Amino acid sequence: MLRITIAQLNFTVGDIEGNVARMVAAAQQAAREQSDLIVFSELALCGYYPGDMLDEPPFLQRVQDGLAALQQASAELPSLHWVVGAPTPTTGPGKRLHNSLLVLQGGTVRLQYAKQLLPTYNIFDERRHFEPGPDVAKVLRIGSAQVGLLICEDGWNDHGADYATNPFERLRDAAPDLVISINASPSHVGKREQRHQIFGGSSRRHGLPILYVNQVGGHDQVVYDGASFAAEPEAGIVFEAPRFVEDVRTLRFDNGHFLTADGQAPARVPAEGLPTMEFYRQQILLGLKDYARRCGFRQVVVGSSGGIDSALTLALAAQALGPENVVGITMPSRYSSSGSVDDSVALCQNLGVQLHTHPIAELVAGYAQQFEGSFGQPLQGLPLENLQARIRGTVLMEYSNAFGHLLLTTGNKSEISVGYCTLYGDTNGGLGLIGDLYKTEVFALSRHVNEQAGRALIPQAIIDKEPSAELAPGQRDVDSLPPYPVLDEVLKLLIEGERLSAAEHLAAQAFVAQLQADDAGRALVQRVRIMVARNEYKRRQAPPILRVRPRAFGSGRQMPIAAKYV
């Protein structure tokens, strides 16, 4: 029988000293629980993913010092084995580092394993910094068990019998009793189920119990949900740690089975995870909390237009940080409807958020007038529309500068896709909460937030009103864009493509095929395609957004700007 402690922790990238302290505290808990083995996540020592910090000698020196501190701590708990993820120097040619797994015990490194498969797709770029490890299986006897070791991507390619491309093959040949996989696996909708399918499948195919340990926390645009789990060959997924929170707990591994610390069968793991909207909500809350905390912000400011995007952003921010840490600013102009102020007042009252009024009509008029000398006439048309958005963006940045609030930008994925936003205006901000949600999903998540609260936190009037930028008289989004239910299906196919769930993909494909049955539909799809391509320059200058889908704007979609698109 082996006692294993899962350390699903929220590490901060670069905070080696803080991460060491977290790991030591978890190891002390493990020792109290008489554990034989504690398992930390991939690159736990430096946090995942440190990017080009890995090129900096002082950073690598701190990593080395951190490892020395861990070794020393392991000497003080001699009966505990520590499975630790850390960068380590290579000895051969190529890149100077391996992405490694180390087993520490009694003050020494008992084993080192270098990750073999380095992901370089989507948001991952590990080959930029690391040399792949040799295709050797690493197995260590700990107590009564032979433990095989893998690192994240190593376990994602379990198809085909080629040793070089499938580390599972060689590991299976080494006949461990148990496989431990350490991970830094970002979450997006459907990811938990995908992990269960992949690792559950490998467990069954190779007849190997697998313990999968993930990190938790938000790192810039990427959020890790934790959700560490255990898989058995016959029973499937038998244990799952909670999502979006830290969790340090000890399991027993006895006769090929995972049991709770007191020897019971763990609670049943449901096949289905959180409903999509609740998943979005929790992912965004953790993403904002960790971004604000790590960057040293306590409070955020949001322009409150009385529209759905700013309303949802305010509601999520209030849930993540507490309403006392959220400030709304309503900035009526000549073209603002009375609802823009009244609905903002109702919203902020519901949320318990303070709302300041900062009218911009005079600022806009004065500013527009100033152009008469050089333009021969005051500003009008699109430049005047954008001026309003830019003045609002400037006002919001002044609040940010004056009070140290983080400005949250409110763009959704539909607008960001087609560039329906003003550069240096409503695109201002440090972080976007809903930038990976299509507009139709913004409505769905707003309804979900209300349902969950058991009351209309976001006033029904805001949910019911027709989307409008309110930058010109009577302006409506549908005058410039296809209706959102149409636009979103086209965008899903263009941007997410096969990364959509099977059901979403089928639905979008059928919808767009029907749309393209006539010339007008074909022209619409082509127009959207061109808008998406032409607006890459706006996205490149936009603030980071929290990722909730497999393909989010940012590092996961790298497109050229100055190219011929179609």
Ligand X SMILES: Nc1ncnc2c1ncn2[C@@H]1O[C@H](COP(=O)(O)OP(=O)(O)OP(=O)(O)O)[C@@H](O)[C@H]1O
Ligand Y SMILES: NC(=O)CC[C@H](N)C(=O)O
Name the catalytic one among 46, 126, 138, 152: 152
42 assigned to active site: yes
Lay out the site mask for ligand Y across 21-60 (x = CB under 6 A, - = otherwise). ---------------------x------------------
Q: How far is CA 372 from CA 174, 215, 364, 380, 385, in A?
A: 80, 58, 13, 11, 16
- To the question of whether residue 538 is assigned a binding role by annotation, the answer is yes
138 assigned to active site: no
The residue at minimum Cβ distance from ligand Y is 185
- Residue 442 CB, shortest distance to ligand DND, in Å, is 11
Pick between residue 22 and residue 392 the one whose CB is nearest to ligand X.
392
What count of other Cβ atoms lies within 10 Å of the Cβ of residue 397? 17
Select from ligand Y, ligand X, ligand DND, none the partner in contact with residue 470, using the beta carbon and a kind-dependent cut-off of 5 to 8 Å.
ligand X
Sole binder of ligand X in the list 99, 215, 228, 336 (CB under 6 A): 336
Select from ligand X, ligand DND, ligand Y, none the partner in contact with residue 336, using the beta carbon and a kind-dependent cut-off of 5 to 8 Å.
ligand X
**Alpha carbon distance 189, 350 (integer Å):** 29
- Classify residue 322 by its DSSP letter: -
Pick between residue 232 and residue 415 the one whose CB is nearest to ligand DND.
415
* Residue 304 makes contact with ligand X by CB under 6 A: yes
Furthest-apart CA atoms within the chain: distance in Å: 87
* Residue 340 makes contact with ligand X by CB under 6 A: yes
- To the question of whether residue 309 is assigned a binding role by annotation, the answer is yes
Residues that bind ligand DND (CB under 6 A): 382, 385-386, 389, 415, 419-423, 425-426, 469, 471, 477, 480, 537, 561
3-state helix, strand, coil in the chain (%, to 5): 40, 20, 40
- To the question of whether residue 256 is assigned a binding role by annotation, the answer is no
**Alpha carbon distance 329, 314 (integer Å):** 11
Select from ligand Y, ligand X, ligand DND, none the partner in contact with residue 10, using the beta carbon and a kind-dependent cut-off of 5 to 8 Å.
none
- By the 8 A CB rule, do 220 and 13 touch? no
Q: How far is CA 465 from CA 333, 406, 479, in A?
A: 18, 28, 15
- To the question of whether residue 307 is assigned a binding role by annotation, the answer is yes
Sole binder of ligand Y in the list 106, 119, 143, 378 (CB under 6 A): 119
Alpha-carbon 548 to chain mean position = 6
Lay out the site mask for ligand X across 347-386 (x = CB under 6 A, - = otherwise). ----------------------------------------
* Residue 153 makes contact with ligand Y by CB under 6 A: yes
Pick between residue 292 and residue 302 the one whose CB is nearest to ligand X.
302
User: Among residues 381, 400, 380, which one has the least CA distance to residue 392?
Assistant: 400
What count of other Cβ atoms lies within 10 Å of the Cβ of residue 105? 21
Which string of b and e fits 318-336 if b means at least 16 CB within 10 Å? bbbbebebbbbbbbbbbbb
- To the question of whether residue 415 is assigned a binding role by annotation, the answer is yes
**Token duo for residue 322:** 């507490």
Q: How far is CA 290 from CA 54, 184, 358, 546, in A?
A: 22, 16, 30, 11
**Token duo for residue 427:** 């695109």
Select from ligand Y, ligand X, ligand DND, none the partner in contact with residue 153, using the beta carbon and a kind-dependent cut-off of 5 to 8 Å.
ligand Y
- Per the DSSP assignment, residues forming a β-bridge with 249 are 6
278 assigned to active site: no
Active site residues: 42, 115, 152
Q: Summarize as ranges the residues that interact with ligand Y (CB under 6 A).
A: 42, 119, 124, 152-153, 156, 184-186
Q: Summarize as ranges the residues that interact with ligand X (CB under 6 A).
A: 302-305, 307-310, 329-332, 336, 340, 392, 410, 415, 426, 467, 469-470
Residues that constitute the known binding site: 121, 185, 191, 303-310, 386, 410, 415, 538
